[in-house]
Amino acid sequence: LAIRCLSVLVCLSLVSGVGLAGIAAAPAPSPSSSLLPDAVRERAAALRDDALAGTRALEIARSLSFEVGPRSAGSPGDRAAVEWGLRTLRGLGFENVHAEKVTVPHWDRGTIAGEILSPWPQPVILASLGGSVGTPEAPAGNGIEAEVVGVPSLAALDQLDPARVQGRIVFYDVKMQRTKDVAGYRDAVPVRGAGASRAAKRGAVAVLIRSIGTGHDRFPHTGAMRYEDGVAKIPAAALAPADADLLAAALASGKPVRFRLRSTARMLPDAESANVIGEIRGRERPDEIVLLGAHLDSWDLGTGGIDDGAGVAIMTEAARRIGAAGNGKLPRPRRPRRTIRVVLFANEEFGTSGARAYAAAHAAELAEHVLAAESDLGAGRVYRLSSGVAPDHLPQIAELAKLLAPLGVSPGDNEAHGGSDVAPLGAAGVPLLDLDQDATSYFDWHHTANDTVDKIDPKEIDQNVAAWAALAYAVADLPGDLGRAPAGKGRE
Amino acid sequence: LAIRCLSVLVCLSLVSGVGLAGIAAAPAPSPSSSLLPDAVRERAAALRDDALAGTRALEIARSLSFEVGPRSAGSPGDRAAVEWGLRTLRGLGFENVHAEKVTVPHWDRGTIAGEILSPWPQPVILASLGGSVGTPEAPAGNGIEAEVVGVPSLAALDQLDPARVQGRIVFYDVKMQRTKDVAGYRDAVPVRGAGASRAAKRGAVAVLIRSIGTGHDRFPHTGAMRYEDGVAKIPAAALAPADADLLAAALASGKPVRFRLRSTARMLPDAESANVIGEIRGRERPDEIVLLGAHLDSWDLGTGGIDDGAGVAIMTEAARRIGAAGNGKLPRPRRPRRTIRVVLFANEEFGTSGARAYAAAHAAELAEHVLAAESDLGAGRVYRLSSGVAPDHLPQIAELAKLLAPLGVSPGDNEAHGGSDVAPLGAAGVPLLDLDQDATSYFDWHHTANDTVDKIDPKEIDQNVAAWAALAYAVADLPGDLGRAPAGKGRE
């Protein structure tokens, strides 16, 4: 049975002997041993340094990419991925390995073809956005043929004379900016989700977007879109960057631009998938959970090497090393106080079905989740630790950040969002930690056919494993916990 | 009527007053003014420097990529490219603009699909090699399904027990090396042309190759293959790099690897295309020709932005600037002594039909071609001048190289091959000059869907124009010519 703290402050005082008054008056550094005992710190540091000498993460990512490959929700690859997850976690020595059923939407991309008919007849390379309807099959099966109207943003569409949109194909030419963090993506991506219904309300017959990505290689980027209730569903597709340039140039010529689109995309009946779970059981408080998440599904165009094969591999390998730690500088395995639970979530990409199913199925034990974290931004180097905890626990976070400083990880703010799959847990009060990754190159490959495992740098993925192994171990073996997250965390 | 030199030595002595004995005794530097008169040198240098300030080359390449796009031999794009060429050369002020009919083979890629059936079921990304047959349509239309046998080279295939090849799909896993020049490509490419027949002789039912390229983006590379007479024609396709990695890993697992291939590639009846020609007529010897070549066709997967949109743009713009030179430091236009002839060759990619047609149609005037040169390696920076001339003309080549030194161009050897389209002219005695380009990145994009005009660096293409404008002008305006190329030039 787990001994749990009734509140953050009681917990801290029990562990460290620091009185309530002292904490309240000075949230500044307490003696560090009180926040992160030497034994925990040393073991965490050894896990960190051992991982830098080489891990099995790339091997795990490669296994998932090669042996399963594309695994979008509801597809045969999705089922194969669940089997892979169970087999892999068992093979790596995890305990309590099991699948928890998740019902997922099942969208089928079918085939797509697009061509400029005039002024410069030429086929283009494009991909349906996830969830898009296809073009009408009847009567002639010739798809949609219409004139194109271009706009530089969602807002610009609203400024257009409705007569210019009615019966047309709307082309949103939004250019994503390359940033180290996800800011560039966050700013550009709304057009993907909302563009179709926004145009359909004004009578458009289809939408095209410039792919949401930073690369200039000729890959169209997919990703989820959604239809508003009560608005006509029109097809939505993303053009590869060069093809967006071409369409923009055709529009800039001043001549009418006609376009033909054919797509057989469609929704199929819901399907069954699963969250795959494995644990390193805690030695003292096994019911308290440090949750390390990643998502098992991928988009269908690539093999999900980075999204989220990398995250699956990082979290699985970090937990494995904590459980198996007897190598390198660590004289013998020792379980942490709490349980490390790896959760490989079903269907993050097309509606976070697995996240919602997990939060519902585990609602009763969320109070015993002492941390939730996710790795879902490829294998780029970790550069910052952000938290989503009650402010009085920030001194502990500062101690954890020190542990990661040798990896080049800086302290961040307390605005961690936790990643799509664990955000609902943060909203339910589970403390969140983010290890922010350098995403400078990530959006060159994200959601394209080019998301393959060769994009992972072995040194970089090992640095991720080092950071997560040290951090997860430290939180799981702390005498005290991180309290509860304040309202508003994890909702982003 | 042109005044032509009867021989190199007579010509030199006429122009410079240097006697036969002097030349014969000392092929080392003569007074440079005798080889490259000051007036020619200065004008060439001005053309060179003006081009560095900005040219229309990228605009021309963009026009071809956007307004025509894919233009493989015999396709509608091929016909559109001929129209574009005529329209563009006329629009840029060329003289004697016309098309010369060329009969071209017409291969249709159709569609292709490949998948690993076992041990790891997964679709792969691949492309038919140019000229490949498709898979059998009858009876079930299920294509070819067979076990795969992997070999690291053409030579390794010959070492295999024939029983291991019979009825199998052969996978040639040859990795191309990245080099600044074309050496990496030259070493790797034979497997593409010869691999199918070599395997068919041993009973193989299809061949797969790792794409011949240096990139690791998930594009399959196409390119011409050929069947040996009397050998069964079997389908040949190239896997994208990540898919070649996957297939190699599946083979390395030791389990039998089964593969299914379906392709509708096929040959169609020969079609009509054309070499497109335009000139800047010479002021003194208009029948003497400085030929600047590039090829108008492209492979069908990309838009031919670099192969050979870049070359078309470089040679067209270099010639245009010579004809129009009145801008920048050049006070007024002045035609060079000889004619600059731009030839945009039909179908280089699938059998050099245009090159052979030009050499045949112009056989009678090849003796009056004083130079043939081609730009067909994208827009990478020029770094070396190589020649294919009689050795006694090397001092002139050295003078020309000095003219290009400010562009970072070094003197090369006398082994120029001239490019596929002008090599037959070299073999007929026409002097050749190559401006060797930095091809470090070129084979990342070459023959893929990613060959688009955005891969051109504006500064680099302008440097190419600067070099060719200076060089072509100097040769066209020299009092003497470059003699005749010795036997053996241009055959590579």
The percentage of chain B sitting over the pLDDT mark of 70, rounded to a whole number, equals 89
Catalytic residue among B348, B349, B374, B460: B348
Q: Report CB contact under 8 Å: A66, B249.
A: yes
Smallest CA–CA distance, residue A68 to chain B, in Å, is 7
Bridge pairing between strands B126-128 and B236-239: antiparallel
Is the pLDDT at B299 greater than 50? The verdict is yes
Is the pLDDT at B20 greater than 60? The verdict is no
| pLDDT tens track for A364-400 | 999 999 999 999 999 999 999 999 999 999 999 999 9
Supply the pLDDT for residue A330: 56
Nearest alpha-carbon partner for B458 in B317, B277, B294, B337: B317
Do residues B209 and B301 touch, judged by C-beta distance below 8 A?
no
User: Which of A67, A70, A218 is nearest residue B452 as measured by Cβ atoms?
Assistant: A218
Supply the pLDDT for residue A334: 77
Cβ contacts of residue B86 below 8 Å, gap of 6+?
B97, B98, B99, B276
Q: What is the C-alpha end-to-end distance of chain B, expressed in Å?
A: 34
Residues of A engaging B, defined by a Cβ cutoff of 8 Å: 62, 65-70, 76-77, 80, 119-123, 125, 216-219, 241-242, 245-246, 249-250, 302-303, 305, 448-450, 452-455
**Which one is predicted more confidently, A351 or B10?**
A351
Neighbour count for residue A357 (Cβ, 10 Å): 21
Which one of A68, A117, A217, A239 makes the best mutation probe of the B interface by having the most chain B beta carbons within 10 Å?
A: A217
Residues of A85-110 as b/e, b for ≥16 C-beta within 10 angstroms? Answer: bbebbeebebbebebeebbbbbbebe
Say how far apart CA B313 and CA B457 lie, in whole Å: 13
B348 is catalytic: yes
Q: If you measure CA to CA, which chain B residue comes closest to A71?
A: B122
Is the pLDDT at A8 greater than 90? The verdict is no
User: Which of B70, B218, B453 is nearest residue A450 as measured by Cβ atoms?
Assistant: B218
**What percent of chain B is helix, strand and coil (3-state, nearest 5)?**
35, 25, 40
CA dihedral sign, ordered B380, B386, B389, B395: positive
Is the pLDDT at B449 greater than 70? The verdict is yes
Q: At what angle do helices B458-477 and B394-404 cross, to 10 degrees?
A: 140
User: Which of A67, A125, A455 is nearest residue B120 as measured by Cβ atoms?
Assistant: A67
Supply the pLDDT for residue B327: 46
Q: Tell me what the mean pLDDT of segment B290-315 comes to.
A: 98
**B65: which chain A residues are within 8 Å (Cβ-Cβ)?**
246
Supply the pLDDT for residue A333: 66
Supply the pLDDT for residue A441: 97
**B242: which chain A residues are within 8 Å (Cβ-Cβ)?**
303, 305, 450, 452-454
Residues of B engaging A, defined by a Cβ cutoff of 8 Å: 62, 65-70, 76-77, 80, 119-123, 125, 216-219, 241-242, 245-246, 249-250, 302-303, 305, 448-450, 452-455
- Indicate the pLDDT class of residue B35, thresholds 50, 70 and 90: confident
- Indicate the pLDDT class of residue B137, thresholds 50, 70 and 90: confident
Supply the pLDDT for residue A488: 66
Q: What six digits make up the tokens of B90?
A: 């006329």
Smallest CA–CA distance, residue B10 to chain A, in Å, is 54
Q: Report CB contact under 8 Å: B218, A449.
A: yes
Supply the pLDDT for residue B402: 97
Query: How many separate helices (H) and strands (E) can be counted in chain B?
Result: 17, 16
Q: Report CB contact under 8 Å: B249, A303.
A: no
CA B295 to chain CA centroid, Å, is 7
Q: Report CB contact under 8 Å: B66, A246.
A: yes
Q: Report CB contact under 8 Å: A454, B245.
A: yes
Q: Report CB contact under 8 Å: B454, A241.
A: yes
Neighbour count for residue A411 (Cβ, 10 Å): 16
Say how far apart CA A59 and CA B242 lie, in whole Å: 15
User: Which range is most confident: A9-23, A321-335, B331-345, B457-471?
Assistant: B457-471
User: Which of B70, B450, B453 is nearest residue A217 as measured by Cβ atoms?
Assistant: B450
**A77: which chain B residues are within 8 Å (Cβ-Cβ)?**
122
| pLDDT tens track for B155-200 | 999 999 999 999 999 999 999 999 999 999 999 999 999 999 999 9
**Which one is predicted more confidently, B327 or A425?**
A425
Supply the pLDDT for residue A195: 98
Do residues A345 and A298 touch, judged by C-beta distance below 8 A?
no
Q: What six digits make up the tokens of B51?
A: 């081009």
Is the pLDDT at A4 greater than 50? The verdict is no
Say how far apart CA B422 and CA A316 lie, in whole Å: 59
Is the pLDDT at A17 greater than 90? The verdict is no
Neighbour count for residue A253 (Cβ, 10 Å): 13
Instruction: Tell the burial category of B297 from Cβ atoms under 10 Å away from its Cβ (0-12, 13-18, 19+).
Output: buried
Smallest CA–CA distance, residue B354 to chain A, in Å, is 24
Smallest CA–CA distance, residue B122 to chain A, in Å, is 6
Is the pLDDT at A492 greater than 50? The verdict is no
Supply the pLDDT for residue A142: 78
Q: Which of the residues of A are catalytic?
A: 348
**Which residue do the tokens 């896993």 mark?**
B173
Q: What is the DSSP letter of A478?
A: -
CA dihedral sign, ordered B47, B49, B53, B55: positive
Smallest CA–CA distance, residue B112 to chain A, in Å, is 13
Q: At what angle do helices B394-404 and B38-52 cross, to 10 degrees?
A: 40
For chain A, the average pLDDT equals 91
User: Which of A69, A241, A448 is nearest residue B122 as measured by Cβ atoms?
Assistant: A69
**B241: which chain A residues are within 8 Å (Cβ-Cβ)?**
454
Is the pLDDT at B281 greater than 70? The verdict is yes
Supply the pLDDT for residue A13: 32
Smallest CA–CA distance, residue A487 to chain B, in Å, is 43
**A245: which chain B residues are within 8 Å (Cβ-Cβ)?**
452, 454
Is the pLDDT at B29 greater than 60? The verdict is no
Is the pLDDT at B334 greater than 70? The verdict is yes
Supply the pLDDT for residue B2: 31
Is the pLDDT at B106 greater than 70? The verdict is yes
Query: How many separate helices (H) and strands (E) can be counted in chain A?
Result: 16, 16
Q: How would you write A301-351 as a 3-class SS string?
A: CCCCCCCCHHHHHHHHHHHHHHHHCCCCCCCCCCCCCEEEEEEEECCCCCC
Smallest CA–CA distance, residue B293 to chain A, in Å, is 25
Nearest alpha-carbon partner for B58 in B464, B480, B491: B464
Which one of B68, B246, B251, B298 makes the best mutation probe of the A interface by having the most chain A beta carbons within 10 Å?
A: B246
Is the ipTM higher than 0.95? The answer is no
For chain B, the average pLDDT equals 91
Do residues A110 and A93 touch, judged by C-beta distance below 8 A?
no
Q: How many CB pairs under 8 A join A and B?
A: 85
Q: What is the DSSP letter of A298?
A: -
**Residue B101 belongs to what H/E stretch?**
strand B95-108
